[in-house]
Amino acid sequence: MLKLIASSRIHRMHPTLLRPAHDSASPLLRVFGSLGGLSRRNTDVGGRYFFCSDSGNGSDQVVDAGFQAAEESQSKASAIVPTYPRPEDYLTVLALPLIHRPLFPGFYMPVFVKDPKLLAALQESRERQAPYAGAFLLKDEAEADPSVISSSDTDKNVYDLKGKELFNRLHEVGTLAQISSIHGDQVILIGHRRLRITEMVSEDPLTVKVDHLKDKTYNKDDDIIKATSFEVISTLRDVLKTSSLWRDHVQTYTKHIGDFTYPRLADFGAAISGANKLQCQQVLEELDVYKRLKLTLELVKKEMEISKIQESIAKAIEEKISGEQRRYLLNEQLKAIKKELGLETDDKTALTGKFRERIEPKREKCPPHILQVIDEELAKLQLLEASSSEFSVTRNYLDWLTALPWGEYSDENFDVTRAQKILDEDHYGLTDVKERILEFIAVGKLRGTSQGKIICLSGPPGVGKTSIGRSVARALNRKFFRFSVGGLADVAEIKGHRRTYIGAMPGKMVQCLKNVGTSNPLVLIDEIDKLGRGHAGDPASALLELLDPEQNANFLDHYLDVPIDLSKVLFVCTANVVEMIPNPLLDRMEVVAIAGYITDEKMHIARDYLEKTTREACGIKPEQVEVTDAALLSLIENYCREAGVRNLQKHIEKIYRKIALQLVRQGEIIDATVCSAQSMEPMKDKVDSDELTLDTVQKENSELVEGSDTKKAGETCDAVEEVQTGLSSDQSQSLEVSKESEEDKDIETKTIEKVLVDKSNLTDFVGKPVFHAERIYDQTPVGVVMGLAWTAMGGSTLYIETTFVEEGEGKGTLHLTGQLGDVMKESAQIAHTVARAILLEKKPENPFFANSKLHLHVPAGATPKDGPSAGCTMTTSLLSLAMKKPVKKDLAMTGEVTLTGKILPIGGVKEKTIAARRSEVRTIIFPSANRRDFDELAPNVKEGLDVHFVDDYMQIFNLAFGDEQSQNIK
Q: What is the mean pLDDT of residues 431-459?
A: 81
Q: pLDDT at residue 213 above 70?
A: yes
Mean pLDDT computed over 394-409: 89
Q: Do residues 292 and 225 make contact, with C-beta atoms less than 8 angstroms apart? A: no
More confident residue, 868 or 726: 868
Q: Single out the residue of 695, 755, 693 nearest to residue 722, CA to CA.
A: 755
Per-residue pLDDT tens digits for 684-723: 444 444 443 334 333 333 333 333 343 333 333 343 333 3
Model confidence at 7, in pLDDT bands (50, 70, 90)?
Answer: very low
**Which residues sit in the known binding site?**
459-466
Q: What percent of the chain has pLDDT over 90?
A: 10
Q: What is the DSSP letter of 607?
A: I
Listing DSSP states for 511-529 in one string gives HHHHHH-SSS-EEEEE-GG
**DSSP tally for the chain: helices H, then strands E:** 36, 27
869 is catalytic: yes
pLDDT for 652 equals 92
pLDDT at 26: 42
Kindly state the average pLDDT of the residues 936-956: 87
- When pLDDT is cut at 50, 70 and 90, the band that residue 251 belongs to is low
Mean pLDDT of 65-75: 35
Reply yes or no on whether the pLDDT at 52 is more than 80. Answer: no
Residue 1 and residue 258 in contact, taking contact as beta carbons nearer than 8 Å: yes
pLDDT digits (tens, 9 = 90+) for 284-323: 888 888 888 888 888 888 888 887 888 888 877 777 665 5
* Stretch 865-886: mean pLDDT: 89
pLDDT value for 21? 36
pLDDT per position as a tens digit, 883-922: 888 988 888 999 999 999 899 988 888 888 888 887 788 8
**What whole-number percentage of the chain has pLDDT above 70?**
75
Instruction: Tell me which residue of 566, 433, 410, 412 sits closest to 476, measured CA to CA.
Output: 412
Q: What is the DSSP letter of 507?
A: -
What is the rounded average pLDDT for all residues in the chain?
76
Least confident of 139-143, 381-385, 541-545, 935-939: 139-143
The CA–CA distances, whole Å, from 171 to 54, 117, 197, 285, 424 equal: 17, 22, 8, 10, 67
- pTM here is 0.54
Give pLDDT, residue 157. 66
Q: What is the pLDDT of residue 17?
A: 31
Q: Is 70 exceeded by the pLDDT of residue 600?
A: yes
Q: What is the pLDDT of residue 724?
A: 36
Contacts of 66 (CB under 8 A, 6+ apart): 49
pLDDT for the residue numbered 532 = 78
Beta carbons of 189 and 178 less than 8 angstroms apart:
yes
Residue 910 appears among annotated catalytic residues? no
924 pLDDT band, cuts 50/70/90, is very high
The rounded distance, in Å, linking the Cα atoms of 898 and 91 is 119
CB atoms within 10 A of CB 943: 10
In the chain, what is the greatest distance between 2 CA atoms, to the nearest angstrom? 154
Whole-number pLDDT of residue 77: 34
790-804 per-position pLDDT tens digit = 876 667 888 899 998
Residue 66 has pLDDT above 60, yes or no: no
Instruction: Provide the CATH number for the domain formed by 784-967 in this structure.
Output: 3.30.230.10
Helix axes 822-842, 953-961, angle to 10 degrees: 70
d(CA 570, CA 520): 7
pLDDT at 250 over 80: no
Query: At residue 71, does pLDDT exceed 80?
Result: no
Domain definitions of the chain by residue range? 6-285, 347-403, 416-593, 599-653, 666-766, 784-967
Q: Which of 229, 307, 869, 880 is catalytic?
A: 869
CATH of 416-593, one of 3.50.40.10, 3.40.50.300, 3.20.20.70, 3.20.20.80: 3.40.50.300
Question: Alpha-carbon distance 181 to 186, whole Å?
Answer: 8
* Residue 892, CA atoms < 13 Å, CB-side half-sphere: 29
- 122 band by pLDDT with thresholds 50, 70 and 90: confident
Distance CA 548, CA 556 (A): 13
User: pLDDT-based confidence at 148, cuts 50/70/90?
Assistant: low
- Do the beta carbons of residue 684 and residue 692 sit within 8 Å? yes
Residues contributing to the annotated binding site for ATP: 459-466
pLDDT grade for 734, boundaries at 50, 70 and 90: very low
- Nearest alpha carbon to residue 430 among 464, 480, 382: 464
CA–CA gap between residue 702 and residue 696 (Å, rounded): 19
Residue 707 confidence (pLDDT): 39
CA angle 654, 658, 662 (to 5 degrees): 170
The answer, yes or no, to whether residue 830 has pLDDT greater than 80, is yes
Burial of residue 892 (number of CB atoms within 10 Å: 0-12, 13-18, 19+) = buried
C-alpha to C-alpha distance for 35 and 153, rounded to whole angstroms:
42
Which entry of 711, 750, 754, 912 is annotated as an active-site residue?
912
DSSP state of 804: E
**Alpha-carbon distances, residue 657 vs 196, 386, 653, 661, 664 (angstroms):** 72, 59, 6, 6, 11
Q: For residues 68 and 594, what is the distance between their CA atoms, to the nearest angstrom?
A: 86
Are the C-beta atoms of residues 14 and 52 closer than 8 Å to each other? Answer: no
pLDDT mean over 464-479: 88
Query: Is the pLDDT higher at 145 or at 87?
Result: 87
Q: Is the pLDDT of residue 25 over 70?
A: no
Torsion of CA 626, 630, 632, 636, to 10 degrees: -170
CA distances from 253 to 67, 258, 282 (A): 18, 9, 22
CATH of domain 6-285: 2.30.130.40
The yes-or-no verdict on residue 8 having pLDDT over 70 is no
How much is the pLDDT for 949? 94
Amino acid in the structure at residue 311: E
- DSSP-derived letter for residue 301 is H
Q: What is the mean pLDDT of residues 421-444?
A: 85
C-alpha 367/C-alpha 381 separation (Å) is: 21
pLDDT over 80 (residue 963): no
> Is pLDDT at 447 greater than 60 in this prediction?
yes
Task: Report how far residue 421's alpha carbon sits from residue 960's, in angstroms, rounded to the nearest whole number.
Answer: 47
Query: What's the rounded mean pLDDT across residues 526-541?
Result: 81
- The values of phi and psi at residue 786, to 5°, are -90, 125
